[in-house]
Amino acid sequence: MTALVPSRPCHTQPGFGAFVRARADAGALVVQPRMGFSDPTQMRAGLAATKAARAHTSGTLTLDSYTRVGDLASAEHALRENLPLNGYPIASHPDSTTRAVLAGVRDTGFPVQVRHGSSLPRHIFSKLITLGLDATEGGPVSYCLPYGRTPLAESIAAWRQCTELFSHLRDLGAEPHLETFGGCMMGQLCPPSQLVALSVLEALFFRAYGCRSISVSYAQQTHAGQDTEAVFALRRLCEALLPDVDWHTVVYTYMGAYPVTEAGAYQLLGHATQLALRTGAERLIVKTVAESRRIPTVAENVAALEYAARTAEACPTTARDPGTDSQTYAEALALIDGVLNLHSDPARALLLAFERGYLDIPYCVHPDNRGRTRSRLDEEGRLCWAETGALPLAHLVRTGRRHEVTAAGLLADLSYVRRKFDRDARADRAAAAVAGSDPR
């Protein structure tokens, strides 16, 4: 294995987890965009604007699709031909270029996280370590099953190696931080209990292979009450299973079909912010009014960050976790126990879980996913199991013919959030017009 040396002493930067924890202890919600541009000047401008936003922010370098899949030749061709990419090609830009992008922007009050989406990320982690970047995200399951056909066993092996490699930054004075993407599997229509279970299981994977600063994610779904149950369940399970880890929770604004109206988009972001506040989540990933159409601009990202910050200031109250076993908690615990009982090694346990169907993602077509589970929305908009396959949930979930999923029903469920928030926004506009006021 090639020795990798950071570009500067790592102890000069505080850990990403410590930064978020300090803001949370002061009562602040950290808000973060998903931002990446191939042009270094634009990427630096985006980071600077995020830092200057009227909010408690952290920065993001989101990588391009070619880098994600390891097609560095195509990324380098795009740079030579001045072709735009959908993110920052960190493995193809000279190290000096990336250092210049970060210089004077990334500092003790503004950490930068690298986001990518790679199932085989060795080339990305190698570059992060060389550059002294100590925060990234993903996971052996969550960055494999939704994104391609990489065999799960290969992704698990690669992520184990990368986690161990990344953890060596601690020997150089840094505290490497990993965020599990498990709470965002497929973006939508994965019942919250499995999102919670996957986030916890990937966190346990990271911990087993050396990481001690971890964030656990949950993506906003279709029902505010169920989402609240889910984040409380996630936090309760982490308190029990990660006692020696510095962890925090991060809520993602809805990852599915986004409202097309500006008012609907902002309402949905507002609901995500309120979810984070109700449940004590320390960080929020925002989305913008442009999500339904294109990659957002820097200005649109800043507007979303500042809107979330204003919402957080207006609604500072955190709800109390009832401490009871909600349906979401009970299902998540059963899934986690089912996986952990398969093998003492988290890597082996995850692989066995998918082989036996103890984990099975609805509507995921990856060859290593059994594909025997289905989900549906009930009359109240809660995301429920329609078919549980071999999941260890028979004692908790009842399914039957009355819960069969049709093609029309699936399409309706996929657009439920978009329709709901656009409908509500138009109703608000109509009511405001009758009252003679501007709803914005």
pLDDT digits (tens, 9 = 90+) for 215-258: 999 999 999 999 999 999 999 999 999 999 999 999 999 888 88
In the chain, how many domains are there?
A: 1
Within 10 angstroms of residue 316's Cβ, the number of other Cβ atoms is 10
- Of 79, 102, 83, 82, nearest to 91 by C-alpha is 79
Beta carbons of 193 and 160 less than 8 angstroms apart: no
Dihedral sign of CA atoms 81, 84, 86, 89 in order = positive
Distance CA 268, CA 422 (A): 9
Q: Predicted confidence band at 402 (pLDDT cuts at 50, 70, 90)?
A: low
- pLDDT, the chain, mean: 90
Continuous segment of H or E residues that includes residue 192: helix 192-208
Q: Which residues 6+ apart lie within 8 Å of 418 measured at CB? A: 256, 257, 258, 259, 260, 264, 292
pLDDT digits (tens, 9 = 90+) for 332-360: 999 999 999 999 999 999 999 999 999 99
Distance CA 107, CA 104 (A): 7
Q: Predicted confidence band at 429 (pLDDT cuts at 50, 70, 90)?
A: low
* In the predicted structure, residue 5 carries a pLDDT above the cut 60: no
The number of C-alpha atoms within 13 Å of 287 and in the hemisphere containing its C-beta is: 28
Beta carbons of 77 and 66 less than 8 angstroms apart: no
Within 10 angstroms of residue 408's Cβ, the number of other Cβ atoms is 8
* In the predicted structure, residue 272 carries a pLDDT above the cut 60: yes
| pLDDT at site 185 | 86
Give me the phi and psi of 282, to 5 degrees please. -95, -20
Window from 151-160, 261-270, 331-340 with minimum mean pLDDT: 261-270
| pLDDT at site 420 | 83
Window from 311-315, 328-332, 370-374 with minimum mean pLDDT: 311-315
Q: Residue 190 belongs to a domain with what CATH number? A: 3.20.20.240
* In the predicted structure, residue 195 carries a pLDDT above the cut 90: yes
| pLDDT at site 3 | 40
Q: Predicted confidence band at 4 (pLDDT cuts at 50, 70, 90)?
A: very low
- Of 204, 110, 126, 191, nearest to 158 by C-alpha is 126
* In the predicted structure, residue 44 carries a pLDDT above the cut 50: yes
Distance CA 392, CA 337 (A): 9
Beta strands (DSSP E) in 129-168 are: 135-138
Query: CA of 148: how far to CAs of 117, 253, 277, in Å?
Result: 10, 23, 34
| pLDDT at site 1 | 34
* In the predicted structure, residue 6 carries a pLDDT above the cut 50: no
Question: Which residue range(s) make up the domain with 11?
Answer: 1-440
For residues 18 and 321, the model is more confident at 18
Distance CA 390, CA 369 (A): 12
- Of 177, 113, 197, 189, nearest to 146 by C-alpha is 189
Q: Predicted confidence band at 89 (pLDDT cuts at 50, 70, 90)?
A: very high
**pTM of structure:** 0.91
**Can you spell out the DSSP letters for 296-340?**
PPHHHHHHHHHHHHHHHHH--PPPPP--S--HHHHHHHHHHHHHH
For residues 318 and 180, the model is more confident at 180
| pLDDT at site 438 | 54
The position carrying tokens 């380098």 is 76
| pLDDT at site 97 | 96
| pLDDT at site 56 | 96
Beta carbons of 90 and 114 less than 8 angstroms apart: yes
Q: Predicted confidence band at 432 (pLDDT cuts at 50, 70, 90)?
A: low
* In the predicted structure, residue 9 carries a pLDDT above the cut 50: no
Percent of the chain beyond pLDDT 70? 92
Total count of residues recorded for the chain: 440
Q: Predicted confidence band at 147 (pLDDT cuts at 50, 70, 90)?
A: confident
Beta carbons of 193 and 232 less than 8 angstroms apart: no
* In the predicted structure, residue 366 carries a pLDDT above the cut 90: yes
